Amino acid sequence: MRRIAWKAGARCAVSIGIDVDGESLWLSKDPENERRPGVLSQGAYGPKVGLPLLLEMLERHALRATFFVPGWVAERYPEVIARAHRMGHEVAHHGYCHEWPDPDDPRGEEARFVRGLEALEHVTGQRPVGFRSPAWELTPRTLPLLREHGMLYSSNLMDDLAPYIHDEGIVELPVQWLLDDAPYFMFQTRVPSRPIWPAEHVERAWLEEFHGLYRLGGYFNLTLHPQFIGRPGRLAMLERVLSRISTYPDVWFASLRDVATYWRDTHG
Ligand SMILES: [Zn+2]
């Protein structure tokens, strides 16, 4: 891999993307969940408890993250989302109510995209520039839609270790299941699910991958969910991972917006 010239001579870039799904993850899976307060409470834990704890932890380390928020969640929990924005974190687009995009419904996709955008702008007073599809999936309509609405980046695809630019001019900030907390921590009772394991297993996986990416000079784009990572023991694990990463020289910690801006300015 060609060595990437990261900002200010950094060897590697690190971003923390936090998908604040709240109850919308469960509502989009099954509308019947609206009548299941127990199921929904798994999601409510995110904005109510996990997110404030994450904000405190990020503040202790003077780190700025990117919060991907469905418009529905911003409308239901405006205070904590506005607080994250006031603290200097980026608030980005994560659909309206966590809908899976349907390639056969371009009008519906556009309507939900616009509704989500407007909800976020209403709560933070600022128009988001980044988009993460709730399913990490795109349709033929998605990238043109981002371009038409003046968005800067997408963070959805898994086909590189570094950012790149789509034909539509949108910067892609690649993700990976390996660097997502959900596959390790999401526990489901109605379908076969992974057993619950100690968080140190994830700590090893993430540091292993960070070390590899650091050697190559790639982009470590971590994906977190307050409803999963926001448990006290897991947050302590995350804090250990971030502390360990910050001991490496020449690491650039940046929001996804800052990485995308840098990439557009240097590669666009
Ligand atoms: Zn999500």
In the predicted structure, residue 256 carries a pLDDT above the cut 80: yes
Backbone angles phi, psi at 130, to 5 degrees: -120, 150
Report the separation in Å between the CA atom of 137 and the middle of ligand 1, taken as the mean of its atom positions: 11
Give pLDDT, residue 48: 98
3-state secondary structure the chain: CCCCCCHHHCCEEEEEEEECCCCHHHHHHCHHHHHCHHHHHHHHHHHHHHHHHHHHHHHHCCCCCEEEECHHHHHHCHHHHHHHHHCCCEEEECCCCCCCCCCCCHHHHHHHHHHHHHHHHHHHCCCCCEECCCCCCCCCCHHHHHHHCCCCEECCCCCCCCCEECCCCCEECCCCHHHECHHHHCCCCCCCCCCCCCCHHHHHHHHHHHHHHHHHCCEEEEEECHHHHCCHHHHHHHHHHHHHHCCCCCEEECCHHHHHHHHHHHHC
Residue 195 token pair: 């057993």
- What lies within 8 Å, CB to CB, of 251 at 6+ separation is 10, 11, 12, 13, 14, 214, 245
> CA gyration radius for the chain?
18
Give pLDDT, residue 40: 95
Q: Cβ(70)–Cβ(116) under 8 Å?
A: yes
Report the separation in Å between the CA atom of 148 and the middle of ligand 1, taken as the mean of its atom positions: 23
The single residue listed with the structure tokens 């086909």 is 159
Give pLDDT, residue 190: 72
Report the separation in Å between the CA atom of 249 and the middle of ligand 1, taken as the mean of its atom positions: 32
pTM of the shown model? 0.96
Report the separation in Å between the CA atom of 177 and the middle of ligand 1, taken as the mean of its atom positions: 13
User: How confident is the model over 72-116, as pLDDT tens digits?
Assistant: 999 999 999 999 999 999 999 999 999 999 999 999 999 999 999
Report the separation in Å between the CA atom of 14 and the middle of ligand 1, taken as the mean of its atom positions: 20
Report the separation in Å between the CA atom of 41 and the middle of ligand 1, taken as the mean of its atom positions: 16
Q: What CATH number should be reported for the domain whose range is 7-267? A: 3.20.20.370
Give pLDDT, residue 3: 75
In the predicted structure, residue 63 carries a pLDDT above the cut 70: yes
In the predicted structure, residue 193 carries a pLDDT above the cut 90: no
* Nearest CA-CA partner of 83 in 125, 45, 34: 125
Percent over 90 (pLDDT), the chain: 91
Residue 155 token pair: 């963070």
In the predicted structure, residue 1 carries a pLDDT above the cut 70: no
Report the separation in Å between the CA atom of 69 and the middle of ligand 1, taken as the mean of its atom positions: 8
Report the separation in Å between the CA atom of 208 and the middle of ligand 1, taken as the mean of its atom positions: 25
Q: Cβ(172)–Cβ(163) under 8 Å?
A: yes
Report the separation in Å between the CA atom of 19 and the middle of ligand 1, taken as the mean of its atom positions: 5
Q: What are the boundaries of each domain within the chain?
A: 7-267
Report the separation in Å between the CA atom of 210 and the middle of ligand 1, taken as the mean of its atom positions: 23
In the predicted structure, residue 191 carries a pLDDT above the cut 80: no
CA 226 to chain centre: 10
Q: Which of 80-84, 125-129, 133-137 has the lowest mean pLDDT?
A: 133-137
Report the separation in Å between the CA atom of 224 and the middle of ligand 1, taken as the mean of its atom positions: 9
Mean pLDDT of 194-205: 92
Residues forming a β-bridge with 219: 13
Report the separation in Å between the CA atom of 25 and the middle of ligand 1, taken as the mean of its atom positions: 6
User: How confident is the model over 5-33, as pLDDT tens digits?
Assistant: 899 899 999 999 999 999 999 999 899 99
- Mean pLDDT taken over the chain: 95
User: How confident is the model over 144-159, as pLDDT tens digits?
Assistant: 999 999 999 999 999 9
User: How confident is the model over 31-59, as pLDDT tens digits?
Assistant: 999 999 999 999 999 999 999 999 999 99
CA 60 to chain centre: 20
Report the separation in Å between the CA atom of 20 and the middle of ligand 1, taken as the mean of its atom positions: 7
Report the separation in Å between the CA atom of 42 and the middle of ligand 1, taken as the mean of its atom positions: 13
In the predicted structure, residue 189 carries a pLDDT above the cut 80: no
